[in-house]
């Protein structure tokens, strides 16, 4: 049974050799799938996506608040919130937070480690320099900074990251 918002796909696979497969959709738009050899252990993947149907009415809304674009809070914001909770409640542990959030204890520790960044970097993350916002700094880049044990190197890499992101934001 099809519900609202589901797409019905009529399958018409014509597989010649490995790597090609065509699917005809209910909008009569072709969908090309990549079908790898089964011995690779890979699953089929979309090689040419389906465009929105002509009658679809989706108008993206521009927003000045970048936090509205993201459904989950930034890991640095989570770390700050969890640190406040741990400070305010002596019986609360990282294990309790992990259970409440549905995460592993290791993941909670991983996020909390972002608070080991130098104070200068933490202050700039809380108030990013224009035109950047907090979401410009992904967790992977922040954790790479943590990999540097020397705070001087962390600050140097932070400045390089800021320069790179500003350059990208201007272009």
What is the set of domains in the chain, with CATH numbers?
A: 9-48 (no CATH), 71-154+161-166 (1.10.10)
pLDDT > 60? residue 63: no
| Residue whose structure tokens are 């050899």 | 37
Using alpha carbons, select from 100, 71, 72 the residue that is nearest to residue 86: 100
Q: Which residue has the tokens 């962390």?
A: 154
For residues 159-166, give the mean pLDDT: 90
What's the rounded mean pLDDT across residues 96-123? 93
Confidence of residue 134 (pLDDT cuts 50, 70, 90): confident
Q: Which residue has the higher pLDDT, 93 or 53?
A: 93
Of 150, 154, 168, 76, give the one whose Cα is nearest residue 114. Answer: 76
User: Which of 82 and 72 is assigned the larger pLDDT?
Assistant: 82
* Distance in angstroms (rounded) separating the CA atoms of residues 138 and 78: 13
């Amino acid at each position: 049974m099809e519900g609202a918002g589901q797409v019905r796909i009529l399958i018409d696979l014509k597989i010649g050799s490995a790597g090609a497969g065509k699917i005809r959709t209910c909008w009569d738009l072709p969908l090309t799938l990549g079908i790898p050899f089964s011995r690779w252990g890979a699953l089929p993947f979309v090689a040419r996506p389906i465009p929105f149907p002509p009658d679809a009415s989706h108008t993206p809304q521009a927003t000045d608040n970048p936090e509205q674009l993201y459904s989950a809070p930034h890991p640095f914001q989570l770390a700050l919130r969890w640190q406040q909770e741990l400070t305010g409640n002596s019986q609360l542990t990282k294990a309790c937070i992990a259970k409440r959030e549905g995460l592993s204890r290791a993941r909670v520790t991983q996020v909390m480690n972002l608070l080991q960044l130098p104070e200068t970097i933490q202050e700039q993350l809380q108030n990013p320099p224009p035109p950047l916002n907090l979401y410009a700094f992904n967790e992977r880049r922040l954790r790479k900074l943590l990999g540097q044990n020397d705070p001087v190197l962390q600050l140097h890499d932070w400045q390089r990251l800021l320069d790179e992101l500003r350059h990208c934001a201007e272009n």
